[in-house]
Amino acid sequence: MNRTLLLVSAAGLLALGALMVGKPTPPPPPPVTDTSHTVARPDEPDATVTLPLVTSTPSGGALTLSGKLSGAYVQTGTSEVFAWLELKAHPAEAGRRVPVNLALVIDRSGSMSGQKLADAKRAAAELVSRLTSEDRLAFVDYGTDVKALPSRPVTEEVRAELLRTIADLRDDGSTNTSGGLAEAARALRPYLREFRVSRAILLSDGQPTTGMVRESELYALVRGMRDEGITVSALGVGGDFNEALMRGMAEQGGGFSGFIDDSAKLAEVFSRELDQATSTVARRVELELRLPAEIQTVEVMGLPATREGQLVKVPLYDLAGDQSVRVVAKLTLATGAASGVLQVLDARVRYVDVGRDAVADTGLKLAAAVTADATVVRANLDKDVRVHATRALGTQHMLAAAEEMKRGNRQAARGLLDNARRIFGTSASALSGELAELDQTEAAYGSASDEEEVRRESRNLYKKTMKNFGTNNAY
């Protein structure tokens, strides 16, 4: 619970009390959850403790996992604690380029006409020019119907045919996103064993209008592709695509998402996608959080997660050398014992190590002492994790504000931005950059004069939330 929610809750209780005058006295409220790990008291000095970082020790794997809790102690009863984790890829071997099995999936529907399609064709041609005979490429274009050139090694002869096909593309029809992805999967599937990295790069400028149109269907499609070994990146271009859909497909597919206002930047984005694919060191990355019985609820902030009993699974994106991802998890505990040590979290990452072409894993365990003394809890809070938790809580309000901007609800959007500002303000010195970005967002949003400018600011805010949540898989 953050300070803003506490203030709102208090105001609501006062209003309720005024309405209850002359009525029977209500029962006492339930015990207040300990929120010391995020909510600072007005007279409380800043946390100064830095807890030791717990780091996994993989034997030759591509990834290292590090993490710590927001405090060395948890309080008896109902309380909150945060876990901060960072997964980092080791540097790629110098001069090593991974051959890739690619499918380029281009939207050529009617809405792509003009400059967008021209820039998409130019970007596709540049990507084709960078591939070598060690790589395979299938080229898929879709409107209402789906057309494809089969997957082949990119010899000079094949390259020439690909370039001719790209040059001849014409806009036509609706947006059959699922058809394009399904065709890409068919083209890539026969070569999954031969290649250590297989990736479908999807480009679209709009909402799916034929084939699968529901988000749940498209997410299931790309999740199935990822489970087979095909990474899916989802790139949106222009002003009308669905940011949440593109982001969701990339999250479920283990790839990157792109929010590209200016189609002239497509060539740069395609080039970065190729660099990402050819320098991948870990794919099919998934974080598992095993919870003790004392954990009641868990929220992985800013990332999709599924829970089965006391096991939480978080799919993550493919990692190239030196790339990383940060994860903040909010845990609610119900602790009965007044002493002893509680293992709060058993975190493990499973992935395919591209260099060794083998399944690998690495993990760590995070524990805290249990105490009934709130003073001890507050005296042993980690200053860095508290900031990470505060950033994540404020960013949730930023994300909600971006959605309200898209809906045209200016009052609600501004209210949510103000909430984010108050939350960040509890760690103002550490989150000065986030506060400055909020100032810029509010100024640009306030001066937006038409729907297109509002949508652009919504998209910019959406991109800022991804950075704040600790993910680095967006353009």
Per-residue confidence (pLDDT) for residue 113, from 0 to 100: 95
Confidence of residue 458 (pLDDT cuts 50, 70, 90): very high
Q: Is the pLDDT score of 177 beyond 60?
A: yes
| Domain range summary for the chain, segments of one domain joined by + | 54-92+282-381, 100-278
pTM over cut 0.85: yes
Contact call for residues 341 and 272 (beta carbons, < 8 A): no
The CATH number of the structural domain formed by 54-92+282-381 is 2.60.40.3670
Region at 440 (left for phi over 0; alpha for psi -120 to 50; beta for the rest) = alpha
Confidence of residue 5 (pLDDT cuts 50, 70, 90): very low
DSSP SS3 for 274: helix
Per-residue confidence (pLDDT) for residue 28, from 0 to 100: 52
The CA-atom distances, in angstroms, between 202 and each of 11, 95, 150, 167 are 48, 28, 16, 18
Q: Is the pLDDT score of 115 beyond 80?
A: yes
Q: Is the pLDDT score of 18 beyond 90?
A: no
Distance CA 81, CA 329 (A): 9
Per-residue confidence (pLDDT) for residue 33, from 0 to 100: 66
The whole-angstrom distance between residue 470's C-alpha and the CA centroid of its chain comes to 8
Confidence of residue 308 (pLDDT cuts 50, 70, 90): very high
User: What are all long-range contacts of 270-276, with beta carbons under 8 Å and residues at least 24 apart?
Assistant: 270/104, 270/123, 270/124, 270/126, 270/127, 270/201, 271/126, 271/127, 271/130, 272/475, 273/127, 273/199, 273/201, 273/233, 273/235, 274/100, 274/102, 274/127, 274/130, 274/131, 275/320, 276/318, 276/320
Mean pLDDT computed over every residue of the chain: 91
Bridge partner residues of 79 (DSSP): 34, 333
Helix crossing, 410-425 with 3-19: angle to 10°? 120
Mean pLDDT, to the nearest integer, of 107-117?
A: 96
Q: What is the pLDDT of residues 321-357, one digit of tens each?
A: 999 999 999 999 999 877 799 999 999 999 999 999 9
The percentage of the chain sitting over the pLDDT mark of 70, rounded to a whole number, equals 93
| Phi and psi, residue 46, nearest 5° | -65, 150
Confidence of residue 19 (pLDDT cuts 50, 70, 90): very low
Is the model more confident about 382 or about 1?
Answer: 382
Q: Is the pLDDT score of 294 beyond 60?
A: yes
Q: Is the pLDDT score of 12 beyond 50?
A: no
Q: Is the pLDDT score of 296 beyond 80?
A: yes
Mean pLDDT, to the nearest integer, of 265-282?
A: 96
Q: Is the pLDDT score of 6 beyond 80?
A: no
Q: What is the pLDDT of residues 24-61, one digit of tens each?
A: 444 454 455 678 888 777 777 778 899 999 999 777 89
Per-residue confidence (pLDDT) for residue 31, from 0 to 100: 52
The CA-atom distances, in angstroms, between 50 and each of 246, 366, 380, 386 are 38, 15, 9, 10
Contact call for residues 411 and 432 (beta carbons, < 8 A): no
Class of domain 100-278: alpha beta
Per-residue confidence (pLDDT) for residue 206, from 0 to 100: 80
